[in-house]
Amino acid sequence: MKFVIIGAGSAQFGCGMLGDIFATEAFKGAEISLLDINPQALDKVYKYTIDFVEKNKLDFKITFTTDRKEAFKNTDYIISAIEVGDRFKLWDEDWKVPLQYGINQVYGENGGVGGTMHALRIIPPILDIVADMMEICPNAYMFNYSNPMTAICTAVHKKFPTAHFIGMCHEIAWLHTWLPEMLDKKYEEMDVVAGGLNHFSCLLSLTNKKTGEDLYPTVLKKADSYFESAIGYSDLWMKAKKENITDDTESWDKSAFKGKKSAYQWADRTLLKFILENYKILPITVDSHFGEYIAWAYDVADHKGIADFYNLYKSTLGIREPKIELKKHEKAVYIIEAIANNKDYREEAVNIANAGYIEGLPSWLAVEVPASVNKDGITGHKLSIPKGFLSLLANYAQAYDLTTEAAITGKKDYAIQALLANPVVNKAKLVHKMLDHLIEESTPWLDYLK
């Protein structure tokens, strides 16, 4: 068995994924090829990994290279998390430039103008990676952790419909915190079904595994009292500034806040409150992501919480030394283990092409759904989406179509049309000038648009 980790030079991602693989008994004896375009960062992680393997007497073969084609030889599983250029400098421009043209955005990473630019920068290099995979190891499975997830997965499935390409995201983990605390039940006691589009998913059903009792009415009843005082990113950012420390934005230490209430009402979740009230459905993520796709979200989202999340996120990346822990965190390793050993496994959320899993959304669109996994691969589960929520998903679908077509074909006209189709874009007169401005700020990554 052979793994390739793309983006292995990242101390956070590369070392985190290595810990997951090392902690999985079924992977003993495997080869792991570390791949990155940054030779200095890659060398640092490689030396640390070799030392860790030797000290812990682990049975793994570790190699490293900057040559993708060489790394892909005889590969079974590829795990990738890449970015293009200076992530936060480009993100700042994606957020700031549209403001100069009268267009507000909630976050600008995955949806809106910023999400469109992000997608147009990152899709071409990912398509190049998948092209090499299809040439060298066409039966391999590739797990993508890069954003914008839906745009990336949609583009890959359009251009390489037979590729085993799966998008993985951590947002579903919010339910692992919220539901047990809200209902005073262990997560394992509940049958949880969520889905939609990546960063734009909701809890769809919730039942007691033992009794079959529908627990969703209780969630809707208790949501106000729970979320009104729940700790949010503004609390974390305030703590980080005061103590000059930072926590991982997605797996932060909750023990420091145990029994405490937020200093802010509905921290990070004023849009979530609005969705609960008007759609009677619970988003599985906070305002920063869910609000990226909705025209009116800017009017109701918690902008302080979003800005504090961005600042905290920015402060946590690029400052870490390599550290491997022999623990399983990432769901990709569970999926790989099930495929390799023909184990029946249910994954709560994967991003795959919509093969009839969500009626009312196009088949070319990547959707986020639960899935069954075994030696035959990954099969999504069909979901029933309430009409109100489905209308929000459908509103954004055609923007994804045009964004991915622009990235695949290089046609600037499609990029313009993608912006005009985007629900968040409410100004048209200066869209051409805005796109030219953003292309200039993103050079050379968007120079291919003609």
Hey, which residues are catalytic here? 170
Which residue's entry shows tokens 């050993």? Answer: 341
Closest CA to 127 of 436, 432, 410: 410
Which residue's entry shows tokens 């926590």? Answer: 247
Phi, psi dihedral angles at 81 (to 5 degrees): -145, 100
Which residue's entry shows tokens 């912006």? Answer: 419
Which residues fall within 8 angstroms of residue 69, CB to CB, at 6 or more apart? 132, 136
Which residues fall within 8 angstroms of residue 135, CB to CB, at 6 or more apart? none
CB 132 within 8 A of CB 152: no
How many CA atoms lie less than 13 Å away from 150 in the CB half-sphere?
A: 33
Sign of CA dihedral 249, 165, 35, 341: positive
DSSP string, 51-65: HHHHHTT---EEEEE
In angstroms, the CA 154 to CA 161 distance is 10
Which residues fall within 8 angstroms of residue 427, CB to CB, at 6 or more apart? 101, 102, 103
State which H helix or E strand residue 177 sits in.
helix 173-183
184 to each of 217, 261, 286, 371, 397, how far by Cα in Å? 15, 17, 21, 27, 37
CB 20 within 8 A of CB 333: yes
